[in-house]
A and B are shown apart, each in its own frame.
Chain A
Amino acid sequence: MRDVWSSWSRGIRWDTVAVTASLLYFFLAPGLSAPEVFTNSFYVQLQDGHHGRVTADGIAKRNGFQNLGPVLGSENEFHFVHDGLPHARTKRSIPHTRLLKSDPHIKIAVQQTGFRREKRGYNPLRVENLVDLPPVLEDPSDPYFIHQWYLKNTGQNGGKKKLDLNVEAAWAQGITGKNVTTAIMDDGVDYMHPDLKFNYNAKASYDFSSNDPYPYPRYTDDWFNSHGTRCAGEVSAARDNGICGVGVAYDSKVAGIRMLDQPYMTDLIEANSMGHEPNLIDIYSASWGPTDDGKTVDGPRNATMRAIVKGVNEGRNGLGNIYVWASGDGGEDDDCNCDGYAASMWTVSINSAINDGQNAHYDESCSSTLASTFSNGAKDPNTGVATTDLYGKCTKSHSGTSAAAPEAAGVFALALEANNKLTWRDIQHLTVLTSKRNSLFDAKGRFHWTMNGVGLEFNHLFGFGVLDAGAMVALSKEWKTVPARYHCEGASMSKPRKIPSRGSLILKLETNSCQGTETEVDYLEHVQAVITLNSTRRGDIVMFMTSPMGTRSMVLSRRPNDDDRHDGFVKWPFMTTHTWGENPRGTWTLEIQFNGEKPQTGWIKEWALMLHGTKDPPYVGLPVTDPHSKLAIVKKAHEDRKKA
């Protein structure tokens, strides 16, 4: 059963569905006068006496077509497509039609036209990411668009077709990021770049490294400070202007916050950057954090933490700012739960996959990662991220998880244009419900896709999967703000327990999730295990937390380079998103073990279980139009629970 869900929830693309829908339309309402657009789909009826899928497959193949299957279950009517034809064109492809018609086994062949269709009542074919049949669009004409496989993966450079952010489906819905501002907190932005200058929001920008309003990057001989410019282009490089490529949200505004370019970082710079113009800036994108050396445990300091809290509570005129965070480049020897920025509930932590669906080799994973986007890492060096570069140039080799975070920021900008009332939590819920497993996988086979207690698939490396801009925009349009959020300290233990050198220490906490109190949490969002421990080697500790519904999160992985023996963890919040939507009531299990070369000893002194979520079921007001969507699955799980 679970497999069925997963195959449905992945890889449904509007173009495939649209073709099927337009075929249906052909039968139900022919003869509409609309501007003629011809698709690469053909309706084919076989000659009498010929029928069946196998026969049709053969006929399609010998004519250079692909048989997508029978039309409405018919034995002699089929849907053929020709890959050599553009998805949409204004002229009929007479040679192709003629070719089919001349086949002795074909009775009728009709090239399908595309229609614009208005939204209407119940339609069994409709999926979340098909609000209405989008007008057929042309690709952007920007010269680097063909290199932007993360926007449209046609299999270029050995990538996997359709493994991309599905942005064209969002653009086709008329959503391009208008009136949304994303701030790039980085080493500055070349706001004079011809591909960025008209999308630059000067009012929302600042240079904290030099303390002036103009975050133009500082020159160095190695052009080191090109990073912010590259990130900015991913979000909002202009479309169809003949320069470089195109941004995910190409009509959105981008602000520059120059804050990384001084010899040392200070709490003041961070705090002021993250609290800069919170009513002008909607989304903050960050590609920095504690050093990714696999042994640092650090997070936002006091002023910065307060700036973030203030941002989510009060920014965007009370809806809350969206903070997007790159999970880190520390590779498998680091864990981003040791990065207090990425692990925060108030940031959306984004990991990266490469163009064939593997995780990138530098990916730093953790249970707080919510979703993934794309970056470089394939063998072919041309598979980096194509975007704008310093001094008006373009690049094809932007890289790292830091290239992934701005893509997510761009997708969120699209969602905010689709519905400007979305709160910071709505964005996280939408991310959970519309991210796709697609064909993401762990090349080393360590982490598998697993279903949580309400049927949501997650992976330790990728969170809930790769962002799907089309689906997110469609769901944003009909989104109802989620119910009030409560914070409950579910349970805690503070009796020191020894962590054995061999085997595991298993701890259990029973919680009623503050039932009957004002802060009752019945539907989870984030869960934190706040832990104090020390050991003779911090990096050898591995911890798993299992929810009452059986979802196991690796809240801390082995960090072979972390040889700390003094500090340990002091009230450190290990966060997991894997239990999203679950019922927190029951027994939580924490499993702690050493995983290293030499025997070590340690003590856990405290484990507090912090539950964050809603008392009311979160998706009640949302219509379910596709029974196979993640929304439908979670909603049903919640309804079943209510009945029980």
Chain B
Amino acid sequence: MELLPLLSLWFCSAWGYAPLHEPGVGGMYNDAAFIQDLMERINRDMEPAEPAYLDFGSKMDHSGLSIVPGRAIKDSEFLDENDYDTLLGPSGHPSIRDQEYLQHSTLYGHKLGAAGAGALNVKGQQVPTEVKSDTVLPAYCDPPNPCPVGYTAEDGCLEMFENTAAYSRAYQGSQDCMCDTEHMFDCHAAQESDDESDMNNLGQSSFLADMQMDGQHKSLVAKKFYNHKAPEQTLSRLNEMARNAAAAAAHDSGIKLEENPYLQGEKLPVAAKKGHHSQN
């Protein structure tokens, strides 16, 4: 019972990718697309992409698990085994002796032992065992993509933009996406509300946000916010601008949301080390 998922994990980790392995799901699916994608990104702007680099990793996995006691790991010996020269291509690398080796991470063994327990534990809760049959993990709404200095709409970003909470809220509000129950005060309202109640929510929740974020300047920040936002015309103009922008973005990117390739794979128990203020 316990051996099978472990074996599959081991096998997969050797290929640089570990699949979902929640109870009841298990099994494997075609990794080739993921791997290809991954390697393309990793190899970008480096040496010419060498498919052989993949093999390096898989060989490393094995040697990582079989440190011969008392033996000095010579670089030359190591290279013979792994043929790193050929992996890097004819151009080679200027100082091979300075290479760092994956082997020194020696985390592969750990994964065999503990990944099962660790991966299920996200923020102290058990991840629901029900997993979408889709291989892509869920995502939240997409934030707006304003144009940085020197960029124009031709680069696929937003020129009509206002750097405010209200704008971002309206922009995201028009998307059909998963509500972030942890950090949105009222997911139901956000989905259902019409324009008018939306405006009220907008003022209220942003006000609350200001209170929460900037404890020492409650009144000051709140005042600033209202001064800035008070005319309802501005608000609806802003809403309209944001929603149009969101609609245009959705049109441009098509089904991009469902296709974010980076959201594939095992869920890792990783958390932001955000400060205590922002956690509370």
Q: Hey, which bits of chain A sit against chain B, CB under 8 A?
A: 186-188, 190-193, 197-198, 200, 202, 205, 207-214, 216-227, 260-272, 275-280, 287-293, 296-303, 305-307, 309-310, 312-314, 318, 326, 328-329, 340, 344-346, 362, 375-376, 381-382, 384, 389-393, 395-403, 484-489, 491-494, 514, 517-519, 528, 530, 532, 564, 566-573, 608, 610, 612
Contact = CB atoms under 8 A, between A and B. Distances in A.
B17 A291 contact: no
B18 interface: yes
B99 interface: yes
B73 A487 contact: yes
A211 B261 contact: yes
A216 B144 contact: yes
Given A517-B74, A572-B110, A399 B139 contact: no
B45 A279 contact: yes
Given A297-B118, A306-B16, A572-B109, 15 more contacts: A192-B161, A221-B208, A264-B267, A267-B18, A268-B34, A296-B118, A303-B16, A305-B102, A306-B102, A397-B214, A402-B275, A484-B98, A518-B76, A567-B114, A571-B65
16 contacts: A192-B146, A210-B257, A222-B213, A262-B263, A267-B17, A268-B17, A272-B42, A279-B45, A297-B114, A298-B270, A302-B13, A344-B105, A389-B213, A493-B69, A519-B75, A571-B65
Contact of B108 (A298, A302, A309, A492): A302
B269 to A, nearest CB: 5
A561 B248 CA distance: 50
Contacts of B138: 262-264
B161 A384 contact: no
A446 B101 CA distance: 36
Contacts of A190: 163
B157 interface: yes
Given A223-B165, A299-B110, A397 B215 contact: yes
A291 B124 contact: yes
Contact of B216 (A265, A290, A382): A382
A391 B156 contact: no
A519 B161 CA distance: 58
A608 B17 CA distance: 27
A263 B137 contact: yes
B165 to A, nearest CB: 5
B4 interface: no
Contacts of B45: 277-280
Contacts of A492: 67, 69-70
Given A530-B106, A608-B67, A267 B273 contact: no
Interface in B182-223: 182-186, 205-206, 208-209, 212-216, 221
A219 B137 contact: no
Contacts of B143: 188, 210, 216-219
B150 interface: yes
B99 to A, nearest CB: 5
A494 to B, nearest CB: 6
Nearest to A258: B143
Given A192-B146, A202-B148, A287-B272, A219 B168 contact: yes
A166 to B, nearest CB: 24
A381 B215 contact: yes
A390 B165 contact: yes
B270 A571 contact: no
Interface of B: 13, 16-18, 34, 37-38, 41-42, 44-47, 57, 61, 64-65, 67, 69-76, 93-95, 97-102, 104-114, 117-118, 121-124, 137-146, 148-151, 155-157, 161, 163-165, 168-169, 171-172, 178, 180, 182-186, 205-206, 208-209, 212-216, 221, 253, 256-257, 259-278
Most interface-central of A192, A193, A207, A608 (chain B CB within 10 A): A192
Contacts of B71: 489
A302 B18 contact: yes
A32 B140 CA distance: 66
Q: What 5 A-B pairs have minimum CB-CB distances, sorted nearest first?
A: A399-B275, A400-B275, A214-B145, A571-B109, A219-B168
Contacts of B163: 190, 192-193, 391-392
Contacts of A518: 74-76
B145 A212 contact: yes
Given A272-B262, A399-B277, A219 B110 contact: no
B216 A305 contact: no
Nearest to A224: B183
Most interface-central of B117, B144, B180 (chain A CB within 10 A): B180
Contacts of B277: 376, 384, 397-399
Contacts of B42: 271-272, 275, 303, 306-307, 310
